Amino acid sequence: MRVILESKVRKKPTLPIEAEAIIPRNFLKGTDLLVYEGNKERKLSELFWIFVEGTAVSPENIEVVLKGDTSRIKRVGEYMDTGSILISRDIGMHCGNFMSGGTIEILGNADAWLGREMRGGTILCRGNAGHYCATGYRGEKKGMQGGKVEVFGNTGDFCAEYLAGGEVHVHGSTGDFPGVEMRGGQLIIEGDVTRPCANMKDGTCVILGRVHEMIPTFEKIDRRVLPEWKITADVYKGDVANRGKGMLMIKNPGEV
């Protein structure tokens, strides 16, 4: 079953739409869902042209496709546990909050808090992601705990903050403090970074690009070949200021 939601032209296009109802499971019983435009409750049909193709008896067989201007739509995929969502352009903040299963694919850019406190499933962002990608919300001591977030562009600051499990893979560069307060999981950054993994307690971070500023409280312990990436990497343990047991591996700058 395929549910296509094409955004309608709105009188106030800058108003955010709170759309946590947009998950595959909710369409099993129809399209009569409610969202908020600003502080006003709206029927889904007031904001989207809705097209349904085929039928499904279980939510894992439902694909939701978002088309048109979706850049101000927030919380799509929140608590999603199965099925798939395809977003043809940009998406707003908090996409995939608390997700535990299924797949979200974003063909454009994602705003802040992508994959916040994710537990499972897969998020693919073909463009860039904003600040706090795959983190916990402010004040939380655990961020992403499972699943995979893959960003093919760049991310903003604090990517994978408080990462506790799962995998975050950034093909581009990150902003300041990626992997800060890491507790577990794996963070892979193919581009450049600034001040990675401050206060890291556990987990693994692999950086293939340039490190503009290194936290001084990491202890270099080894140099090894990483066959998966076909590089030689300097291996650091830390953050020793936090009695950390994390592993930070950085491509040897002498390699081309």
pLDDT digits (tens, 9 = 90+) for 134-179: 999 988 888 999 999 999 999 999 999 999 999 999 999 999 999 9
Local confidence band at 256 (pLDDT 50, 70, 90 cut-offs) = low
CA-based nearest residue to 144, from 131, 163, 127, 128: 163
Quote the CA–CA distance of 13 and 135 in Å, as a whole number: 28
Residue 244 has what pLDDT? 87
Determine the Cα–Cα distance for residues 168 and 201; give it in Å rounded to an integer.
17
Record the tokens describing residue 106, joined without a space.
């974003």
pLDDT per position as a tens digit, 31-56: 999 999 999 999 999 999 999 999 99
The secondary element (H helix, E strand) that includes residue 159 is none
Which two three-digit tokens encode residue 228?
A: 């998966």
Q: Please provide the DSSP assignment of 214-246 as one string.
A: --TT-EEEEEEEETTTTEEEEEEEE-GGGT--E
Residues 200-246: tens digit of each pLDDT: 999 999 999 999 999 999 999 999 999 998 999 999 998 998 888 99
Total-model pTM: 0.96
**Structure-token pair, residue 102:** 């299924």
